[in-house]
């Protein structure tokens, strides 16, 4: 956006051969993960002439790193939507917090690790986010559009993405 990195993306650091994958805002990485490249990424992006630094990634010791990343991703995406001028797609921190509680309650029953819910339960999270969904049929239509099975596991950040997609469609 305006010549700067904005939204979801990957960046390959040639000097360290590491990949950042996550959210960008105003040309800065905001939340994501640094990781080793996949074999395909390494084949596509590593150049033999680039001097490489030895750079080890520290061990991650968070109890649930995916939950932390999901919350941060949802927040950055909402901030980006507000900055882009699509304020009606912006979700307040209070709505995000309430939706997280609903999601956590559903996820604790739905998955072994408590980090996902099936698509069939996304309507509960959408209501907590304050997203007006006229009927379960609207969600079913969206599921068909996204080509997802009813039992497709969704993380919290993906539920927020679906909410923002619905809001942006309602703006049109």
CATH 1.10.238 residue ranges for the chain: 62-172
Name the residue with higher pLDDT: 91 or 163: 163
Average pLDDT over residues 3-23: 86
The model carries a pTM of 0.59
Q: How far is CA 99 from the centre of its chain?
A: 15
List residues bridging with 35 in a β-sheet: 19
Q: Are 98 and 128 in contact (CB under 8 A)?
A: yes
Query: What angle, 0 to 180 degrees and rounded to 10, lies between the N-to-C axes of helices 122-129 and 136-146?
Result: 110
Average pLDDT, the chain: 81
Name the residue with higher pLDDT: 13 or 85: 13
> Could you tell me how many residues make up the chain?
172
pLDDT recorded at residue 53: 67
What are the Cα distances from residue 69, in Å, to 5, 129, 155? 19, 18, 10
Q: Specify the CATH number for 62-172; select among 1.10.238, 1.10.10, 2.30.30, 1.10.3470.
A: 1.10.238
Per-residue burial over 125-164, b = 16 or more CB atoms within 10 Å of its CB, e = otherwise: bbebbebebeeeebbeebbeeeebeeebebbbbbbbbbbb
pLDDT tens digits for range 97-132:
899 899 999 998 888 878 889 988 988 999 898 887
What are the Cα distances from residue 71, in Å, to 43, 59, 62, 165? 32, 21, 14, 17
Burial of residue 116, with CB atoms counted within 10 A of its CB: 0-12 exposed, 13-18 middle, 19 or more buried: buried
Q: Model confidence at 172, in pLDDT bands (50, 70, 90)?
A: low
């Amino acid at each position: 956006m305006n010549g700067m990195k904005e939204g979801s993306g990957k960046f390959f650091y040639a000097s360290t051969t590491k990949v950042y994958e996550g959210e960008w805002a105003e040309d800065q990485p905001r939340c994501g993960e640094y990781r080793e490249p996949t074999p395909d990424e390494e084949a596509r992006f590593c150049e033999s002439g680039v001097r490489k630094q030895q750079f080890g990634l520290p061990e991650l010791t968070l109890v649930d790193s995916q939950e932390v990343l999901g919350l941060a991703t949802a927040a950055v995406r909402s901030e980006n939507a507000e900055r882009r001028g699509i304020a009606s797609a912006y979700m307040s921190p209070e709505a995000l917090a309430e939706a997280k509680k609903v999601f956590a309650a559903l996820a604790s029953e739905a998955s072994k690790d408590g980090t996902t819910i099936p698509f069939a339960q996304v309507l509960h999270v959408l209501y907590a986010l304050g997203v007006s969904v006229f009927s379960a049929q609207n969600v079913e239509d969206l599921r068909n559009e996204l080509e997802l099975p009813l039992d497709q596991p969704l993380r919290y950040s993906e539920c927020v993405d679906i909410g923002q997609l619905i809001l942006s469609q309602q703006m049109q």
